[in-house]
Amino acid sequence: MGKFVNNIEEFFAFCEENDVQFVDLRFTDLKGTWHHVTYRASAINEGNLTNGFPFDGSSIDKWQPINKSDMLLKADVPTAFLDPFTADPTIIIFCDVYDIYKGQMYEKCPRSIAKATLKHAESLGIADAAYFGPENEFFVFDDVRFIDNMNESGYKIDTEEGEWNSNTKYKDGYNTAHRGGIKGGYFPVAPIDTQVDLRAEMMQVLEQVGLEVILGHHEVAQGQGEIGIVFSDIIGAADNVQKLKYVIKMVAHLNGKTATFMPKPLFGDNGNGMHVHQSLWKDGKNLFYKEGNYANISDMALHYIGGIFQHAKAVAALTNPSTNSYKRLIPGFEAPSILTYSMQNRSASCRIPYGAGEKATRIEMRFPDSTSCPYLAFAVMMMAGLDGIKNKTVPVGPMDEDLFELTLDEIREKGIPQMPHTLREATEALIADNEFLKPVFTDVFIDDYQHYMFERQIWPDERRPTAYEFKTTYSC
């Protein structure tokens, strides 16, 4: 587990040892999608590993215009690992994107932005390390179909765990009748948990690609699971999210199933989040720890929380960047949308994990989801947190009561801020509140990103009638 190579010399030795035939270069776009180009191993040399590989940046959404499309992929050689799914031995390398026209790392490359965020913290003299531990929840379904035409739209999801299958007659089998039901999926053993062997295979393959796996379990919703991995630095943690999503989707696919990290695929059941544990360090010391304070968190950690909450609406444009994200962030489904913090209380947007010692003390932001690009999600939270440290921003809290039981009137009376309710609200907030992101996030990035949100998510969603609108409006 961990790194397989440390430098170019070890890379070629590793390729020879494993009879590598292909080298797969991978990079990430604004929405977090992993892209790749595959070279024959014989075409790889020290020169192009050092200087970069050319590709067309105009073919990636909201990147380069056609007249300035030439870009370079800069290989991060120590990230190399063997692809466990290809028929021929193939090694994957994470890449950053280089802008040949400006002679610098590309300002819209998410991985480069995350790297710049850590450098910014160092330049402020605040921290020299930032650790992130994402928890990515996912669903595994047996069949997913959807249609989106001018005169019809809809979707249908199926999983053998779905309570709607309680009376299903299976052509080549029988109905087991063992189902947890809505919100009944947390920790039951087999046969209610049908994914034991599938998750075990996922966990083993994750270890093959270098992740240190801690645990796996069924989550609350029907067909939902989670696999926990060890935290890493800001870049390593985001790299690990890309690996984890790739492995989980592929293992499900090869087992005749389909996995998704979509925040809210099932109406009326819990959704998928990406809870993110975070801490800042300097000279080997955890800056978020202060014995004797509430939950043993330092004033710096409190101000970091305050910064994220102060800018939460703008932050959400990058941590929850889909219209579907906000169908998860509603009361009653363990999706925290109330901006306060608490020790142990999972209904707060920020939880301070129980019983952590000096090295393990951290904060856990519970509102992000996996539609986000992990590099951008981690970077935007860290930039907001650093702004909070700079301005000594104090968040509302702590609040240890069950916040899910509060009415909207009670939330307003207590003066507790909330997450935005739509992607439009979040994106409008990003347009109005983005100074805290500079100089790491450029004006070009912010402008192109907000236009991308409107063009690919907000406007298309707002234009489409839904089945529920027919149900409530057709007979007007």
Annotated catalytic sites, by residue? 56, 135, 137, 219, 226, 275, 346, 364, 366
Work out the angle at residue 125's Cα, subtended by the Cα atoms of residues 124 and 126, and round it to the nearest 5 degrees. 90
Q: Give 408's Cβ-side CA count (13 Å radius).
A: 4
Give the Cα separation of 282 and 127 in Å (integer): 5
| Tokens coding 402 | 């069950």
DSSP 8-state assignment for residue 297:
B
Of 285, 296, 309, 302, the closest CA to residue 353 belongs to 296
Q: Which two tokens stand for residue 141?
A: 């379904």
Could you tell me which of 360, 395, 338 has the C-alpha nearest to residue 277? Answer: 360
CA atoms within 13 A on the CB side of 66: 0
| Residue 206 to residue 236: CA distance in whole angstroms | 14
How many other CB atoms are there within 10 angstroms of residue 258's CB atom? Answer: 16
Q: Which residue reads 């999608």 in tokens?
A: 33
Closest CA to 450 of 317, 344, 322: 317
HSE of 396, CA atoms in CB hemisphere, 13 A: 18
CA distance 398 to 343: 8
> Which positions ≥6 away from 123 have C-beta within 8 Å?
none
Is the Cα torsion angle 387, 390, 393, 399 positive or negative in sign?
positive
262 neighbors 248 (Cβ within 8 angstroms): no
Quote the CA–CA distance of 307 and 303 in Å, as a whole number.
Answer: 6
Q: Quick one: tokens of 182?
A: 């809505």
**Cα separation of 380 and 332, whole Å?**
27
